[in-house]
Amino acid sequence: MAQRLFVRRRDGRIEVRLNDAARSLAREAFARVLAAEMDPDHEWHASLNAPIDPSHDVDDPLATLSRQHEVTSNVELAIATLGEAYLNDAEAWAWLCTLQVALRATITAKGIMTSERLNEADESTREYLMTLQTFLFALADVM
Amino acid sequence: MPSLKPLRVSDESQTESVTATITARPWNVIVWDDPVTPMSVVVVIFRKVFGYPNNKATQLMLTVHHEGRAVVWSGPLERAQGYCVKLQVAGLLATIEQDA
């Protein structure tokens, strides 16, 4: 039986059972989300700035500012708690959001919007996506 | 039965009426399917963002999965924008559109 990556303890905290390699991969994903949010030329930037109302050329500036602020807050909290053995609910939510943003940004940047395109993707991309999905499955399971 | 007098409707009041109707039409928050997001993650996000019970969140997730999209919330523009932002922050592909 595979070891669970996250475990909800009796006191309500979530125990993180990622090994060094898994934490390193999470660290890289979090860092890329933060870089993409700040750099308009980053390949993930478009995914992080998807239209809110596609019928208008420009979205409400307050809404886009709010999104930017919330994404940055989540990723900063996720990075700050990367070395922790336990997460509270707010920290776990920040991890889940940031990992999911990384997952979606990867497929958007690579144009993988259908199952067919996913099957055609190169092996390293599919492996990376599967690893993020594994983290997300495990985290969602305890939330 | 009371008699009804025909009302004289000016162009201005007609315009106001049309504007009021358009404004009153609710805005829908749409979530779109993608090939990688785990179903359980979508359910967690719907529960957390909207406070939906597990069965409603699961039903909406299945609609997204089977139909390619689902209206997950309807209401005033500002709140629709707010929910859309929260869904995007959580990594889902979400947009808003005014109800037809």
pLDDT tens readout for residues B3-35: 444 444 455 555 565 555 556 899 999 999 999
**How near does any CA of chain B get to the CA of A57, in Å?**
13
The nearest CA of chain A is from the CA of B62 a distance in Å of 16
pLDDT band at residue A14 using 50, 70 and 90 as cut-offs: very high
Name the pTM for this structure: 0.87
A-chain residues near B38 (CB < 8 A): 133, 136-137, 140
Residue B19, min C-alpha distance to chain A (Å): 18
Interface confidence (ipTM) of the complex: 0.92
Span A124-132, mean pLDDT?
94
Q: Is residue B14 part of a domain?
A: no
Q: How many structural domains are present in chain B? A: 1
Contact A50, B88 (CB under 8 A): yes
Side chain identity, residue B26: P
What CA–CA distance (Å, rounded) separates A41 from A49? 12
Judged by CB atoms within 8 Å, which residues 61-100 of A form the interface with B? Answer: 63, 66-67, 70-71, 74, 93, 96-100
- Let me know if residue B19 belongs to a domain: no
Whether residue A104 and residue B91 make contact (CB cut-off 8 A), yes or no, is: yes
The domain that holds B39 is classified in CATH as 3.30.1390.10
pLDDT tens digits for range A64-117: 999 999 999 999 999 999 999 999 999 999 999 999 999 999 999 999 988 899
Full domain range(s) for residue B80: 26-98
Residue A52 carries which DSSP code?
S
Tokens read off for A95: 């991890």
* pLDDT of res. A71: 95
Q: CB contact, 8 Å: A134 with chain B?
A: no
Within-domain flag for A1 = no
